[in-house]
Amino acid sequence: QLVPALVLTASLVHAIRRHGWRFAWDEASLALIIPALVFAYAVLSANVISRYLVPFTPLIPILALWGLKHAELHFEWPWKRSLAILSTVVLIALAQNIVIYGTVALPHIARFRQGMEECFRPIGYWLRNNTPPDAKVLAHDVGLIAYVSERTVYDTPGLVTPDVRRAFGTIPPDEAMAQGLYRAAVVPDYVVDRSRVPERLAGASMSPQLTLPFPGVGIRSSDTLFYTVYKVEQK
C-alpha cells in the first residue's frame, strides 16, 4: 500500500492547501478511519497482525484515486496524461507488490506449510488418538489442530470473547500462558503451548506429552518455535 498511501497523502496535503480543511473533510473524511483504527489498537494494546488492517486497507487505493481525479481537474490534464499518470502509479504499485510477494510472502508460505505438515498435523493426530472425545484443549493456533484432532479446541489469543479479554487483559499472550490466566475463561484438559523454549510450562500440574518444532510462524521471523502438548492435572 506504500504507493497509493503516498499518492493519498500528497492529495490530502494539496486539497487542504488549495481548498481548506472544510473541503478535505467533505470530500475525504473516510481517511480518518485509518488513524482512528490505529489509535484504537494502540489504546487497547492489541497484538496487531496483518489481517487486523483489512478494515481500512481498501480505503487507501480508493482515496488515492480520488486524489488523482482532483489533481486532473485542478491541473486540467489532457486524458492521455491522466491515463499515463494513473498507469504509472498502478504499475509501480504492482511491481512493488510482486517483489514483496516473491521475496517475503512465498518463502514464508513454504516455511508455514512445512510447519503445518510436520508440527500441527501430528499434534492433531496425537490428540485424536490419545485423548477422550470430550477432552477440552487450549491451543495458541487452532486451525489444523482442531480439524484433525476432532476435539473441542479453544483458541485463547484468537477468539476474544469477553471472558477471554478479562482473563488476559493487556498482558502478552506468552506471559499470560505462563501465569495460567486462561483458567478464568476455560479449564482445559490439555494445553498446546507455543514458545521459543520447549516444555517451558512443565511442572506438577502440567505434564509434557509431545513437543515439535515449527520453522517460523510469523512472516517477519524465521526463528524456530516449539509447540508442546501438556496434559493438565485437574485439582
Residue 231: its pLDDT value, please? 94
**Alpha-carbon gap, residue 36 to 46, rounded angstroms:** 14
The span from the first CA to the last CA of the chain, in angstroms, equals 52
Could you write out the DSSP letters of every residue in 31-86? GGHHHHHHHHHHHTT----GGGGTTTTTHHHHHHHHHHHHHHHHHT--HHHHHHHH
Q: Is 196 helix (H, G, I), strand (E, B) or coil?
A: coil
The list of the chain residues with pLDDT below 50 reads none
Contact by Cβ (8 Å): 150, 128: yes
**Alpha-carbon gap, residue 191 to 209, rounded angstroms:** 10
Residue 175: its pLDDT value, please? 81
Spatial CA neighbour of 208 closest among 200, 217, 196: 200
* Phi, psi (degrees; rounded to nearest 5) at 74: -70, -45
Query: Percent of the chain, pLDDT > 90?
Result: 30
In the 8-state DSSP scheme, what is residue 181? G
Residue 159: its pLDDT value, please? 59
* Alpha carbon separation from 74 to 68, 114, 226 (Å, rounded): 10, 53, 58
pTM to 2 decimal places: 0.71
